[in-house]
Amino acid sequence: MSNCTQCNLQFELSDKELEFLRHASPEYNGVKYEIPPPSHCPQCRVQRRMAWRNDRSFYKSKCDATGEEMISLYPKGMPFKVFHSDYWWSDKWDPLEFGQEYDFNKPFFAQWEELMNRVPRRNMDLVNCQNSQYCNYCGDDKNCYLDIAGEANEDCYYNLFTKYSKNCADCTFAYHSELCYECIQVYNCYNVRYAMYMDGCSESAFCFDCKGCKNCMLCANLRDKQYYILNEPHSKEEYEKKLEELKLNSFESILHVFDIWKKMRLEKGIYRDMVNINCENSTGNNLKDCKNCFNCYNATNCEDCAYLYDVLDAKDSQDLNYSLYKPEVAYELISTLNMRFCAFSMATHYCSKSFYCDLSDNSHDLFGCIGINHGKYCILNKQYSQSEYEELVPRIIEHMKSTREWGEFFPVNLSPSAYNETVAQEYMPLTKEEVASRGFNWREMEEDIGEVERTIPAEQLPDTIEEIPDDILNWAIVCEESKKPFRIVKQELALYRQLKIPVPRRSPLQRHKDRNALRNPRGLWERKCGKCGKDMHTSYGPEKPETVYCEECYLAEVY
């Protein structure tokens, strides 16, 4: 057992975890330089990594190279320059110009911070996106707005981790779907609203855990059904009549129906211990096609892994967040793509045998580098020959062992984003005072909604979308929950009109928080099956009111 150096809680490392660390340790000139056991517990490790990822705290600024107006993750006055991503990716600047000699009289992280404050950073993390400048960590998006961690989406707004979808808004984890609104964990769906855990469904609303269903309302745990309301069958005529009576174009009616849905899910819903589909010997939640994965969440097609969060196609890896495209033998990474035999890095893609890197791509054998592309044998952005590199890196590792830095991810207080700007605040929120007591950074958010013709409290908005005038685009709406103003954009209004959905009364950020509140926390608890009574591990804590079945009882009941 070990005591976490941050929270002081005891945690245990399995033999398998220790074996992984030996396997992931780098080797130079025939000598293996072992990664030591972590000093932080799993929860504090993921918190530390998440404090380096800013998803949605945006600022208006200018490119320090061209003067171009842009949206940026960083406010004005940062110690480093910020380039527009188009310029940052160009060959008009050279990150090797900022290279520095390693100083064995200083701690590694102090030297790395010096480098970070000199190397320009890109304003947003976008690749091959069109008309989607208010998005982040996206690739191949088109005409999207505030789409976060999206891929190949078109005309999508306010989503998180939505991929290959079209005309979707306010969705969290939506895949290959179209015309979906306020959904969580939906796959291959069409025109589905206010729903969770849906697969292959269409023309449905206020549903939970349905598969292959069409024209269903206020239903749970259905398979291949049509024209159902409250899990009861109806004729087409009855269904359409009752649907009309619900008046789902009215905001007040939607609030009423949402309350019915919440009650129905508790009274009629059956919840599986862990939503793990086609998995073998795996624990966690929201897993699909995984094998031998321990304590993983929102992971797909992963094998022999532990402590994964929002990861795809990983093999033999541990402690990853938002890492996609076949990471292998990877450790302590966040916001990365296709990393092999790499550790302690972030926002770095298509690299191998690289450690302590940031914003580096298409490279191998890097140590402590920032912004390197198509590089090799670099340390702190300084170029070396292969032999020089392989002689110097072991010396640096030994030096980092003496300062207790080797094997640790970057400290939170070095992050260029304040704690309250990052996803760490979403999953492990802290007050301003708690942030200060831990030595982390806090930044007061800027409120900049531009010039508006009028400001209107959300409760004064018209009840239906039909009553909303075009000039709402020039209004500021005061969020009913946070009391902060927000605006509606043109393409968003068009989608609401197409779907006959009332204008939301809560800001995009508040709606994101509301969806997060509907999702289970990333943890497992001991609980007894609600049917057979056997002990099980589940993402539903023992105090939760849901009826939770073990996998065997759930499958027998639902299918």
Nearest-angstrom CA–CA distance, 548 and 537: 10
Measure CA of the first residue to CA of the last residue in the chain; give whole Å: 43
Q: Are residues 142 and 234 in the same domain?
A: yes
28 and 152 within one domain: no
Burial of 19 (0-12, 13-18, 19+ CB in 10 A): exposed
What rounded mean pLDDT belongs to the chain? 96
> Do 171 and 257 share a domain, yes or no?
yes
Q: What ranges make up the beta strands (E) of 258-361?
A: 271-272, 276-277, 284-288, 291-294, 296-300, 303-312, 318-324, 328-337, 340-346
Q: Sign (positive/negative) of CA torsion 219, 220, 225, 231? A: negative
Q: Is residue 286 part of a domain?
A: no
Q: What pLDDT, on a 0 to 100 scale, did the predictor assign at position 263?
A: 93
Q: Is residue 54 part of a domain?
A: no
Q: Give the DSSP H/E element, type plus range, for residue 181.
A: strand 181-187
**Residue finishing a domain among 237, 272, 307:** 272
> For residue range 427-485, what is the model confidence (pLDDT) as tens digits?
999 999 999 999 999 998 777 777 888 999 999 999 999 999 999 999 999 999 999 99
Pairing mode of beta strands 382-383, 376-379: antiparallel
Residues 545 and 478 placed together within one structural domain of the fold? no
213 is a domain residue: yes
Element (H, E) at 174: strand 169-175
pLDDT band (50, 70, 90) for residue 235: very high
Q: Are residues 262 and 224 in the same domain?
A: yes
List pLDDT tens digits, range 112-153. Answer: 999 999 999 999 998 899 999 899 999 999 999 999 999 999
| 239 in the same domain as 165 | yes
Burial code (b: 16+ CB inside 10 Å, e: under 16) for 343-367 equals: bbbbbbbbbbbbbbbbbbbebbbbb
Q: Check pLDDT > 80 for residue 350.
A: yes
CA 345 to chain centre: 17
Structural domain contains residue 90:
no
Which one of 240, 272, 304 terminates a domain? 272
pLDDT number for residue 453: 84
Do 143 and 268 lie in one domain? The reply is yes
What digits encode the pLDDT tens for the residues 470-487?
Answer: 999 999 999 999 999 999
In the three-class reduction of DSSP (H, G, I as helix; E, B as strand; rest coil), residue 311 is classed as: strand
What is the mean pLDDT of the segment spanning 173-198? Answer: 97
**What is the residue range of 26's domain?**
2-44
Asked if the structure places residue 211 within a domain, the reply is yes
C-alpha torsion 384→385→391→392, nearest 10: 0
Kindly state the average pLDDT of the residues 352-368.
98
Whether residue 8 is contained in a domain is answered as yes
* Whether residue 267 sits in one domain with residue 142: yes
Last residue of a domain, one of 272, 307, 327: 272
Strands (E), 373-488: 376-379, 382-383, 454-457, 475-478, 485-486
Beta carbons of 422 and 50 less than 8 angstroms apart: yes
142 and 182 inside one domain? yes
Tokens of 90: 């160009």
Tokens of 464: 């239906």
Q: Which of 113, 359, 281, 470 is nearest to 296 (CA)?
A: 281
Task: Looking at the structure, tell me whether residues 179 and 161 fall in a common domain.
Answer: yes
Query: Which amino acid is present at 144?
Result: C
User: Does residue 539 fall inside a structural domain?
Assistant: yes
Q: How confident is the model at residue 446, as a pLDDT?
A: 72
* Residues 1-25: tens digit of each pLDDT: 899 999 999 999 999 999 999 999 9
Instruction: Judge if 459 and 553 occupy the same domain.
Output: no
What is the per-residue pLDDT for 133? 87
pLDDT classification of 396: cutoffs 50, 70, 90: very high
Structural domains counted in the chain: 4
HSE (side-chain half, CA atoms, 13 Å) at 554: 20
335 lies in a domain?
no
Question: Do residues 496 and 542 share a domain?
Answer: no
